[in-house]
Chains A and B, each alone.
Chain A
Amino acid sequence: MEFAGTSGKVITAREAGLVACTRCSRAWPIANKRCGRCGAKLVSRDFKSLQRVWALWVMGLICYFPANIYPMLVTRQLFNVDRSTIIGGAVDLAHHGAFGIAAIIIFASVVIPLGKFWAIAFLALHVREASGATAHRKLWLYEVVEYIGRWSMIDIFVVAILSALVQLKGLATITPGPAAFFFALSVIFTMLSAQAFDTRMIWNGQPKEDETPEHV
């Protein structure tokens, strides 16, 4: 790729009076409203996207509480009925000695969601100013959130497989609890929240020479 600017200085499309399509990378005059190639809506910097980010973030957080309070799995074995929550299920697994699987569950359903809530909030709060972290750090954080967010769905799929498979009448049956519904919603809302974020804003508040840190 050839640098269009001189001496390694990055020129953004916005500075050059252009607006870029984030879907197909084509540049257009800043007045254009839609991409002439792929039809995507063109916005030079989508500051309004923060409102969508926060709205979806709050929805995700609201759903996350019932997801942890209600049971995720209801296991009926002969005479006992066991209702386990997400964390309870992982603790049970650890008691049975399956530490690796317990770790996956805890990581996918507790560490990742909480980390995502923190990361999206951090990005949304600090995106306008140069404070908080360097642009590269912020972008790295965003990429991690976007990549890893989907993996929280694993718990829902485990519940789906278990409740379809373990249907041995009179012996053992597993049915999903209400938490599965809320957990899936929470994951979907946080995924949408991360997708709504316009990463180009990260570089906006940066000082011009953001390639070289000022304080060494």
Chain B
Amino acid sequence: MSDATALIANIPLDELIVCPQCDAAYRFKQPKSGERAVCQRCHKILIAPRHKAGKHIIAVSIAVVILIIAASVFPFLSISAAGRSNAVSILDAALSFTRGPLLVLALLTAGFIIFVPLLRMLLTLYVLVPVVFNHPPARHAMRAFRLSEALRPWSMAEIFALGCAVALVKVADLATVDFGPAFWMFGILVVLVIAQDGYLCKWSVWNSLEHPEKS
């Protein structure tokens, strides 16, 4: 065992932080608000705390929950051609695959664009609200945050938004397309979801769940 290795091995475990991407171990040092702790080997961002991030995230999450529910009920797009018209909501679009094996696809689509983003926001609120307002963490908060993190890649609202743009171009020469209220709500929603992701520092959440009194 070399000196450096022995040094790491002698640091108490809760003062270590290990890069999840390349396994490099570091002695933990709290970065200042707005600073980031980055792995020196693979450049993965390990900690990125922000001032009052918790309250911002809670506010954004509440807004997103309201927008998702509203955007999935109100008409999203409507088309008309030669006197015939059709208006659809996001829920209609997601559930448009309803025959045979395509039903599975309908459920997956609805999940990716409505239910997964909605569930992630609710889980985030459940985990963060007690911690941010200096209460002990909610029951099963860790399990909730774990689920929320596992669902992260499957939340595809922003991809759906770009899909809309492509679909509109395809329909444009077939019929006239009008935007419903839900279309604009969904636009705002995408921006908020991305902003919320940028604000959330995973490590800070885990740490505050482990040591609620320090946060």
**A4 contacts B102, C-beta separation under 8 Å:** no
A contacts, CB < 8 Å to B? 1-18, 20-29, 37-40, 44, 77, 93, 96, 98, 101, 104-105, 135-136, 139, 146, 150-151, 153-158, 160-172, 176, 178, 180-181, 184, 188, 191, 195, 199-200, 202-203, 211
B38 an interface residue at 8 Å Cβ cutoff?
A: yes
B79 an interface residue at 8 Å Cβ cutoff?
A: yes
CA of A178 to CA of B102 in the docked complex: distance in angstroms?
8
Quick one: which of A22, A27, A165 contacts B171, CB cutoff 8 A? Answer: A165
Number of interface residues of B (CB under 8 A): 80
Contact pattern, B 162-196, Cβ under 8 Å of A = 1, otherwise 0: 11101101110111010000000000000000000
CA of A181 to CA of B101 in the docked complex: distance in angstroms?
7
**A38 contacts B142, C-beta separation under 8 Å:** yes
CA of A191 to CA of B159 in the docked complex: distance in angstroms?
15
**A168 contacts B79, C-beta separation under 8 Å:** yes
CA of A165 to CA of B79 in the docked complex: distance in angstroms?
7
CA of A171 to CA of B171 in the docked complex: distance in angstroms?
13
**A6 contacts B3, C-beta separation under 8 Å:** yes
Residue of B nearest to A14 (CB): B23
**A20 contacts B25, C-beta separation under 8 Å:** yes
**A74 → chain B closest CB, angstroms:** 11
B 119-167 contacts with A by CB, 8 A: 142-143, 145-146, 149, 153, 156, 159-160, 162-164, 166-167
Quick one: which of A44, A104, A153, A165 contacts B77, CB cutoff 8 A? Answer: A165
Quick one: which of B31, B81, B170 contacts A162, CB cutoff 8 A? Answer: B170
**A145 → chain B closest CB, angstroms:** 12
**A161 contacts B5, C-beta separation under 8 Å:** no
Contact pattern, B 1-23, Cβ under 8 Å of A = 1, otherwise 0: 00111011101011011111111
**A172 contacts B81, C-beta separation under 8 Å:** yes
Residue of A nearest to B21 (CB): A199
Quick one: which of B16, B84, B177 contacts A27, CB cutoff 8 A? Answer: B16
Q: What are 16 A-B pairs at a CB distance below 8 A?
A: A1-B38, A13-B24, A20-B20, A24-B202, A96-B173, A151-B159, A160-B94, A161-B164, A162-B171, A165-B78, A170-B84, A178-B102, A180-B97, A181-B105, A184-B108, A199-B42
**A104 contacts B175, C-beta separation under 8 Å:** no
**A154 contacts B7, C-beta separation under 8 Å:** no
CA of A146 to CA of B153 in the docked complex: distance in angstroms?
9
Residue of A nearest to B25 (CB): A13
CA of A3 to CA of B7 in the docked complex: distance in angstroms?
11
**A8 → chain B closest CB, angstroms:** 7
| Chain A hits for B47, CB < 8 A | 1
CA of A96 to CA of B173 in the docked complex: distance in angstroms?
9
Other A-B pairs beyond A135-B42, A161-B96, 7, CB < 8 Å = A4-B16, A37-B206, A150-B159, A160-B94, A162-B171, A180-B105, A184-B108
